[in-house]
Structure 1
Amino acid sequence: MDLRIDMPLVLLLLLPLLIYFGWTYWRERQRLKKSHAIVLIIRMIAVGCLVFALAGPYLLLPIKEEQIVYLVDRSASMNGTEDEMVRFIQESLQSKKDEQLAGLYSFSSTLQTEAIMTKTLKEVPKFTEIKATDQTNIEQSLQLATGIIDPKKATRFVLLTDGNETKGNALDFAMKFKGSNISVDVVPFSQPVVNDVSLKSFVSPQVAYVGEQQQLVTEVHATSAGQGELLLYENDELIHREAVELAEGTNMFTYKHAATGEGLVKYEAVVQVGQDAIFENNKLTSVTMVQSEPHLLIVNGYETASPIAAALGQQSIAYDVKSPESLPNELSSYLQYNAIIFDNVPGHLVGEAKMSVIEQAVKNFGVGFTMVGGENSFGLGGYFKTPIETLLPVEMEIKGKEQLPSLGLVIVLDRSGSMSGSKLELAKEAAARSVEMLRDEDTLGFIAFDDRPWEIIETGPLNNKEEAVDTILSVTPGGGTEIYGSLAKAYENLADIKLQRKHIILLTDGQSQPGNYEDLIEQGKDNGITLSTVAIGQDADANLLEALSEMGSGRFYNVIDEQTIPSILSRETAMISRTYIEDNPFYPILYNAGGWNTLFANGVPQMNAYIGTTAKQGATVVAESEKEDPVLAQWQYGLGKTFAFTSDSTGKWAGDWARWQNWGTFWQTLISQMLPSYNDVAYDVRVESDGSFMITDPTNEAAFLDIVAVNEAGEELDTQLETISASQVRAVVQAEPGLIFFRIADEKETIYQAGLSVPYSAEYELLPANDKLIEELTEQTGGAVLKEPQEVFRDFTKRGADRQNIATWLLLAGMLLFFIDITIRRFGWNFLTKPKKKEQLVENPPVQAEDTNVAQLLKGMKKRQ
């Protein structure tokens, strides 16, 4: 048992108190009685108790129980060592004493429990599956394990690891164990020797020009000599394939390639061998900014050749034409282009995931964007509440809702078990968007079905949109699939309601029992009801659903990509709820807008038709119709310039514009206005050894740069910026291995693009055990590097103790002594030391009257009489 004090400096208060009491004794020593001396001593002890209580005294009572916590590293770098670690733990448990507790936990990027802390642990349990093995975070494992143990007991953490941490800093955290009853032992392990070939580095120039010969340098490391194959890709297309001889150790390969891509070009190196232990370290990417003339991407929604490409003719603009279905998913594929045009592209052929990537390209990298009208564009294309609508200068909603036809819409949604997960969630989101497109006076019904129909929203006026949306989003998956009864219920609900347009949308991913669909739909057509169907996935009965839509005079959609479901329902709702196409010939009204006036100096040609939209607040309307609907509008979205041309490119709607001599110049002008302003400053962006990125600004204005990092999926990454000097900024980005793109903009919003590769995790490198970290960790915490299993349960050098605060008892003692002091001073020492005598009653003789002065006076008065 030890006595400890938290604030020993408080005891210095005893010095002036001792001086005071000593001086008091000296002054009164001549007349000081024994009882007074005792009172003085009591008072001194009481004051001493109070001062000691203020100092925070406590007792440490020893605890015999001890805790041993196994922390097993199961990251990728420890592959092949699990059996050996289990044997080590099992043998060590044979030495465990009865009063010792043991627990088993495993970790990679985080900690998970294998066996809780107990005195009865004798066998190593089967390890649970660990999902993420691409990081080793020893710091976090120690931190979480510290929260599991009883801090009063002596604790020994036993780390079974190679010490190659890829995240966190174990030594910094272990500093907290200094002076505690926690120590860290380490049992070092390392991967067994295997045959492995890995790419150590792959370098391409940061900047190049079209046609310039550039060197692609690859460093390959092999654990043994052998043969392999090196493959190089440019924007996912194979450009070089070579059989290579690999010597043991480092191998360097250089390939010269004339840059043919434009913009941010992705290069990828892949090495392949027959026997390879780790596949994750066989691929690396690099990015080069290839400068050239502007490059345009035309997404053509027509089955025929692109009308815009034909209109451009021999204009000096390089362009690629793609179909909506062939659009890529990666951000790098869009950063090759300076501008993108969607020409009559239906949204359901694009999908919201690709739309989100395009939005990032426009917003953060300045890629221009234009949407051109047609029967599959704008509202009719299903772009309501999509990322594309967000970036455009117009909204899909149109004015004049009071003139729209009365509408009844019933959505019939499959909620069977096979729809669970993202399919059902996207379908519910799509239905909610459709509700938001309706007016309050429109009629809505919502039926969800499994093996029977469930009328979630009864068919009737849409009085409360928010409530309807919340109800739809609350639907959960159920059992089987029975289409006919649900469809019959929808037709029944709409049959007797008097509306100008009545429509049913059926969404399902499965098969159903046969039914008399033909009679049902024919009867519905007699009541003015139309039907569109959506087949979700390959298990849906596409033939039946297509036949139903043909009989119901609607449209059929065969969905492979679930992300397109919201666009499909938005398109369907738009087509039956609005009259979007304005097809009365007119002369557009032109407003004074920079760059366009000279083009129309000789007048504005007549136009036949356009799609109705509404200009957003802040957008610039260059040309509008007689109904004040925008025909050509533009605005700035982030760093990108976007346009909406609501007529078409074929001439069917554009009318005389397509026969106009300046038709090609019109598209040339539109494209030139879309192009971003790129920065000529050569910012240098490099990866540091700690994984951060260093951006160097040769103009010494680094503090004023706006820096955004985005990954290949178009997701903006959390970025922490630190200004190092006038010319340097450090960016710490939370990014997974792969490509990362930086957009750097100055105060004038001129743009610089850079792409870098985040290499594979160090987990996939063949590294020996980190002996330096292991030794420092054990020395710092008073632990040891273990070689034998029996050493785990050796005697502890640190002891656990239970802290008992005695300040309260000292305060009570001081108060009691003060009461004794007061009692003695009030009643005297005899009150405490001598017993109290009984009082004896003494009878005094009666007082005689004559003995009193009054009696004598009376006697004198009688004599004078």
Structure 2
Amino acid sequence: MDWAHPKLLLLALPAFALLLWFESRSVHPMAGLRKRLLLIVRAVIVLLALLALAGPARVTQTGKKALGIIVDASQSMGEEGLTKALNAAQAVQKQAGGSAETFLVRLGSQPELLNTDTPLDLKQQLQWQKDRGGDSHYSAAIDYALALFPAGASRDLVVIGDGHETRGSLLAAARDAAVSGTRLHAMPIAGPQKPDARVLQLAPNRSRLTEGATLKLTAQLESTIEAQGTLKLYENGVQVEQRSVSLKPGKPQSETFTRTPGVRNIYKYRAVLEGIAGDTLPANNDALTLVDVRGRLRLLYIESDPTEGQYLMQAMEKEGVQLELRQPGGIPSTLDALSGYDGIVISDVPAHQLGEPTMNAMRDYVDKLGGGLVMLGGPQSFGVGGYYRTPIEEILPVRLKSPDEEEKQSAAVALVIDRSGSMAGEKLEMAKSAAIATAEVLGKNDFIGVFAFDSEAHVVAPMTRLTSTAAVAGQIAAVASGGGTNLQPAFEQARTALQRVKAKVKHMIILTDGQTSGGGYEGLASQCRGEGMTVSTVAIGEGSHVALLQAIASAGGGQSYSTMDAATITRIFTQDTLMHTGRMIREEPFQSKYAEKHPMLAGFDNWETTTPALLGYVKTLRKSTAQIPLVTDLGDPLLAHWRFGLGKVTAFTSDAKSRWASLWITRWPGFSRFWSQVLRETARPPQGRHMDLSAETDGDEARLRVDLQEDAGTRANDARVDAEIFFVAADALGAPLKMLQKIPLSQSGPGLYEGSFRPDQPGVYLVRAQSGAEMVSAGLVHNPSSEASLGTVNEALLQEAVKITGGTLMTSAALPDLSTTRAVQYVELWPPLVIALLLLFLLDVGIRRWEHVQGIWEMFTARGKASTP
């Protein structure tokens, strides 16, 4: 017994309960026995209806046998192989005799049923092999054969051939056969190895690139003979290159072509092997591929000195990369504004000039939009640029503290902070946060002292060796605001503290937001400089005495900063501290060293002997998962790269300007190419902003998959996504793409839309998916025939296929054991159930209308009596 929908039987109990409820509510004047009889009849009717809907069937064993035979008639079998396969098929069919119903199917590009009532004409079979045997489509032949089995018979299928499939999936077809109860057997027979040379595939190193980028196309060749020939490359139907090739039997060979597509377009490439003497299968001598070339890269180039920025801009102009130069202050600060760029280059710009909102937008641009970020070194970049504990540091592949082993000199830093009443609130809190961050960037051998001032001086943290950052942080956190403004006492206290400490580097930072009483500050700063100290100043807010603070910094040999945003104080403090303690920058000539293989360094095989020296860099530490293609002579990271979220980030700790890279600019011919490869590898790939498309071959189908987002973090659901399919034939790549069809894609998951189409003809298919204003394209290549007269059998594939179905791998043309295959017949039981239901329905009507039945009966009996004489 078998059921189509057995779960429907679970409705019986609720249905009976409903009948009882109706019966209890009935007000029909019916006798008790009649009422109970009606209830029983109706219950049986409901039960019969549910049984019929559940689809019962009686499964019976039958002795009926059926055997299908599939013969590989593709060109790879050759005349000899096809003859052997047909003879084996006829031998198996003869052994089956009358014990099993048999049929014969030949496979090639399309399967076909053979008439076995008359003797097979070998010449006709060979002609069919020549005309329609260009592919070995095993899966189509199995699907075709499964539809030919008669009902109620056992199902065994014998496949005779070499197992070298060129289309579809034999294993997928075997799984379908197993589900249908069909056993698959295989008889390996191969044709002779014949003179044959072929192009296995033409593979690009990337399927999408931008104008002017270098493209590598690799043709894989294979041959059964030793031969000389010519390999030609066609670009959009026009021959662009050719070369002589020498093929050896059984030795695969690769030939790589280099192209530089200069115009935005869909490029169709075809590799053709010609001039092979005695080649018996010329149909497999070419291969196709498709490359989508987008417009030039457009990157935002942030550089504080426009004159110095011209070196990199001119170099990239030669390489077809567009750099849009902006100075701090004119930088897009929103995610939407940054999304129009393929990447961002930050060159020697301090963090406080970017600002917190812009850095947050840049982090999200990389993380959520898949953008690229390149940071170049300089005296105001990385750690010395104040990027410590910023959103930019989070996404960089390097850490911004200098290596501990490089701390050859101790430093002492004195922080002099205004705590007057005007500093109350955010200003003072940010100043305290900046002081704590300064302590964190110093080493364990360094000294720090924190002094606050209002009308008087206050020692917050006395000058001491930094053994515990937490202890200093606790002292700083206790500072409160109040009083007037007099810098001089605290200035002198800080100077005295620095004089007493034994440190190689001594530096003071003064922060205030107002006018200060007292005088002689410039002279005091000059004395500090004469004693080996440097003094920097930070002016915050409109009321600060900027001119005085600038004069103090000038006299003290430090830097003067002015900001209106209290949030930038931390960046300024850490930047200034790392700059003046001196251990973050190394300015002396060094030779960069090749450390790890990376696409950025493709083509630079003799790096250390061909590149000039660099003159300086900013010290950093490698993050654990980052790639470091280049290092300095001391092993510090020079070029670092990693993925962050959806995007990529690259750090180059030297610069691309005249300060440290002057020898690279003037003496190295590879300067432009190197930076072009760095920027292209880091930049966002040419895709839709919130849309991605993949097209892959799955058997005979091409599967399309679109990933769609509403914004950077939200998947788009219930959207309309359509795909247009364009085509150009393999032998007409110079022709324009012809539109074949437009198909809607259905949603299969959150933001995921899928569809399929069947690529029937050899050639190039372009798929363009669109949803609203978003559009993205992908290419799919259906190569010409890859039949090959190898003279071998793919026994591993055949073995796996028969294993899936429980079949056998046959060693001779013997009839497989058909007795173990189950032959069953399903007899549907719902028709008699429906008939019984209808009869019970008539009985139900009779019980409900029993008075009418009695009246009719009395009328007939009365007529009978009247007619009796």
TM-score normalized by structure 1? Answer: 0.46
TM-score normalized by structure 2? Answer: 0.46
